[in-house]
Amino acid sequence: MQPTPKTRNQASPSENDPQTDSAQRAPVVDRHHPTPGGGRLRVGSWDGTDYSEWEGGDDIAGRLARPGTHLWIDLSGPSPDQVAHVTKALRLHPLIAEDILEGNQRSKIEVTDELIHIVVFVLRYDEEVAATEVDIVLGEGFLLTVHDVEWDPWTTHHLRDGVAPILRHGPDHMLWALVDTIVDDYFPLIDRLGDAIDDLQDTVVQDATPRTLERLFRLKRELIAVRRAVAPIREIFNQLTNRDLALIDAAEILYFRDVYDHLIRVTDEVDNYRELVSGTLDVYLSTVNNNLSLIMKRLTGITVILAGIGAIAGIFGMSEAGTAFAGSEALGFWLVTAFTVAAALAVLWYLRRIDWI
């Protein structure tokens, strides 16, 4: 029998809990901010023969008491009262409601014999990477999802033919459908980050400026943010596919392993991109150093020319310049001047030939 780790139903997990240690903190941009007047509460129900759907929290407990009924309760931008109502109807521990409202800021999994509480993140890429927390609670006969209004699970590709074909297979199959969509949406984001890295690499070689460095560091922070959000989800599905859980049907393990494979691909891509960004930073520093060396060479070349002119002028003196411009200076002055100009031009030609100027 698998040991049951500590959960919110028993005690709050400590900081040294190995399960919480493995779940790194993810950068949450959006939490469950309640919408004015309360969020949207939608319920889908499969009773074994028919599917029904309604809005509002009525009859959740009554439907759940019927044998063979599968419920999906979806809360979008809920108010504290809505969360309290739903968690009471589902007989969830108050600490789970507290977790949902406060935002966990990290992906995690908590397992008991009665429920599985999962926190994952929906990632999107606008001007920068933004993460939206999704709380998922799987229990006997029901699945509860809580999230912000930015994400609408009812429009995901697994539900294009409706909720009934998924929910009829059980809440655990609905869990797979939702999380599989979240993970699949990581790939377009990773592709956009890859395109941004390719563009930045070209820019670093052509225009190594502080603005380019700022873009480089911003992209590096975004990759770290993505990895912090995705890496713990990989551990979540590692547990779901390798533990004997009463709430997960054995037939669903194959589906969860497919999601786990996708997560491995995502984390590998993110690690590769992080290495590319680190390499791009090295290229930037090398380019800046090369540009500095080029500037120093040019300044040295100019100094050589001016120093030669100054040396000749110091030897022969400039006290008779006024007389020379008046046209009464001896021929020697003009010879020295012509020699000085010719020598400066010769040095300039040589320095340009060796690419110092």
Residue 109 CB coordination number (10 Å): 24
Based on the fold, state whether residues 214 and 318 are members of the same structural domain: no
Maximum CA pair distance of the chain?
121
Domain shared by 213 and 180, yes or no:
yes
Cβ(85)–Cβ(75) below 8 Å? no
- Regarding whether 137 and 27 lie in a shared domain, the answer is yes
CA distance 105 to 309: 69
Evaluate whether residue 8 is within a structural domain.
no
> What domain count does the chain have?
2
- The total of other beta-carbon atoms located within 10 Å of residue 165's CB is 15
Beta carbons of 141 and 71 less than 8 angstroms apart:
yes
In a domain, 210, yes or no: yes
Distances (CA, A) of 12 to 85, 137, 179: 22, 17, 25
Q: Do 211 and 312 share a structural domain?
A: no
- The residue whose two tokens read 């912000």 is 148
Determine the pLDDT at residue 56: 84
Task: Give SS3 for 40.
Answer: strand
**Which of 269, 287, 305 is the last residue before a domain boundary?**
287
pLDDT recorded at residue 2? 35
Domain end call among 247, 265, 287 = 287
- 248 phi and psi angles, rounded to 5 deg: -110, 115
Handedness of CA 295, 300, 306, 310 (dihedral sign): positive
- Write out the residue range of the structural domain in which residue 71 sits: 18-287
Quick one: 261 and 301 in the same domain? no
Supply the pTM of this predicted model.
0.72
Same domain, 279 and 304: no
The verdict on 255 and 319 lying in the same domain is no
- The answer on 324 and 239 residing in a single domain is no
Q: Checking DSSP bridges between strand 70-76 and strand 142-147, what pairing results, if any?
A: parallel
Which pair of tokens denotes residue 196?
């941004």
How much is the pLDDT for 215? 85
**Is 1 part of a structural domain of the chain?**
no
The answer as to whether 33 is a domain residue is yes
Res 27: pLDDT: 41
Question: H-type helices in the chain, by residue range?
Answer: 18-21, 60-64, 80-89, 94-102, 164-167, 171-184, 186-206, 210-242, 253-316, 321-325, 331-353
Instruction: Tell me if 175 is assigned to some domain.
Output: yes
Q: Residues 107, 232: contact at Cβ < 8 Å?
A: yes
What Cα–Cα distance (Å) separates residue 93 from each residue in 87, 112, 142, 236, 242? 7, 12, 15, 21, 26
pLDDT at 182: 94
The single residue listed with the structure tokens 């400066």 is 344
Contacts 24+ apart (CB under 8 A), 306-312: 308/340, 308/343, 308/344, 308/347, 309/340, 309/344, 312/336, 312/339, 312/340, 312/343
Last residue of a domain, one of 287, 311, 343: 287
Residue 26 has a pLDDT of 37
Q: Which residues of the chain have pLDDT under 70?
A: 1-38, 104-105, 312, 314-334, 357
CATH number reported for the structural domain that contains residue 206 in this entry: 3.30.460.20
112 near 9, Cβ under 8 Å? yes
Give per-residue pLDDT as tens, 104-132: 667 888 888 788 999 999 998 877 888 88
